[in-house]
Structure 1
């Protein structure tokens, strides 16, 4: 099967895999040595093993879902604005707004940097 390797298509496959909680499909969109960061530049994961470990925990959340609000593409850079529902450890369910900046090189995500804001917990 041949996939569209344009930056927007790669990031969309990553988002679809995230929402499907499909770790293998998600990792297929990342370069083997990809890096994930929490803005500004705080390392979160490096390489498939660390990304798998990080995402496996997140994928256990029963309400996990990212809804794309807006996407901008500038060459090989894709910037997504998303609304993410999830379960926060020790706090319960809620949502955040997130901006993710992806650098796509040779049809794979090489780096992803996220900024999270506006955390809202659901009423108990």
Structure 2
């Protein structure tokens, strides 16, 4: 993989830079709650979902580990979020399918928020 769009999207996520974030995703990309619940599709859906998320003042994802197997990237992260019940952390596993330097599909496995 000549460019790592997963690394770039994580940096843009933490910077809350929607344009840099979207530059990492294919125009027809899909995001799922693992295994098959569609959360967002295409640039419009992904942008809208993340513009809302980027409004959280304490949003930050800390990379714990990254495994790259060909065009599949698996990240383990601890994400700080402003949940309705207050500030907390959640364990997240992200599985990314990459092609031509862009994320085509992503699946997320979410833990239980800790407050």
Match of 1:83 among 75, 78, 84: 78
Query: 1:28: Cα distance to partner?
Result: 0.2
SS in 2 for 1:57: helix
1:114 aligns with 2:108: yes
> Structure 1 residues 20-29 or 112-121, which shifts more?
112-121
1:97 aligns with 2:56: no
For these two proteins, the number of residue pairs brought into alignment is 115
Match of 1:48 among 43, 47, 51: 43
Distance 2:109 2:48 in 1: 20
Q: TM-score, normalised by structure 1?
A: 0.89
Which residue matches 2:69? 74
Please say which structure displays the higher CA radius of gyration.
1
Which residue matches 1:14? 9
Poorly superposed stretches of 4+, deviation over 2 Å: none
Q: Which runs of 5+ in 2 are unaligned?
A: none
Q: Which runs of 5+ in 1 are unaligned?
A: none
SS in 1 for 2:89: strand
RMSD: 1.1
Distance 1:82 1:13 in 2: 15
